[in-house]
Structures are given as structure tokens and as C-alpha cells.
Amino acid sequence: MITIHFVIPKGVAPAAVKGVVSNYHYWSDGTSGVYYGVAYASDTIHPLDVVAALASVGVIGLPGVHDSTAIPSAAAAALSLHGVLATDTTYACATKMYAVSGIKLFRPHLY
């Protein structure tokens, strides 16, 4: 199963994700209005199609955890309160969000 990490920026309703994917989890600190989450693409849908659909409702998709590309600057800025840096990869970002939230589903896996 492919895991897609994403950020719901302040001002975008978290319910918007529900219209795009059915299997997802997200978390917010309750004060910033920013949500961090993971979605699971089924085998019948290409992950890039899911990322494009999320982007169409204002959600920021992050690169894969195996990718060495830095996360988008908008995602880094939204999550900076939790120690996420503009130079972080998705793996580093997900590790930090797992540590802050305690939600095991956010813990990235490299296998």
C-alpha cells in the first residue's frame, strides 16, 4: 500500500480530503489550524493522481519518503511550529510529525 503524506494548510477545510480519498488519517495541534496527514492509495489508482486530486482542493502533497527532495516551502512554513524546516525531506518531516503527534501511522518506513 502506498502512503501519501500531505499538509492541509490553514484555511482549507479538512473535510475536503474526504472527497478525494477514503482511507486517510490527519492530525492538528488544535491551535494552528494546520493539519498533517497520510492517505493510502489503492492499487487501482496511481498515487500521482491522488496527489493531483488533493492539490485541486488546496491540500499540499509531499514527495515520497524515499525521495531526497525537500518538501514544498508552503508545507514547511505551515509546519514550522513543530520544528519542520524548509530543507527537510518527507522522511524527516514525517518523523518530526510522528514525534509531536504520537500517531504511529505518521511514522515513515523505508522498506
How many domains does the structure of the chain reveal?
A: 1
Could you say which DSSP state residue 80 is in?
Answer: G
Instruction: Please give the C-alpha separations between residue 88 and each of 22, 28, 66, 83, 85, in angstroms, as whole numbers.
Output: 28, 19, 13, 10, 5
pLDDT at residue 103, as a whole number = 93
pLDDT tens digits along 35-54: 999 998 877 888 899 999 99
By residue range, what is the domain housing residue 93?
A: 2-103
pLDDT at residue 75, as a whole number = 97
Query: What pTM was computed for the model?
Result: 0.92
Could you say which DSSP state residue 32 is in?
Answer: S
Confirm whether 108 is domain-assigned.
Answer: no
Instruction: Please give the C-alpha separations between residue 53 and each of 20, 61, 87, 106, in angstroms, as whole numbers.
Output: 6, 10, 25, 21
Confirm whether 109 is domain-assigned.
Answer: no
Confirm whether 111 is domain-assigned.
Answer: no
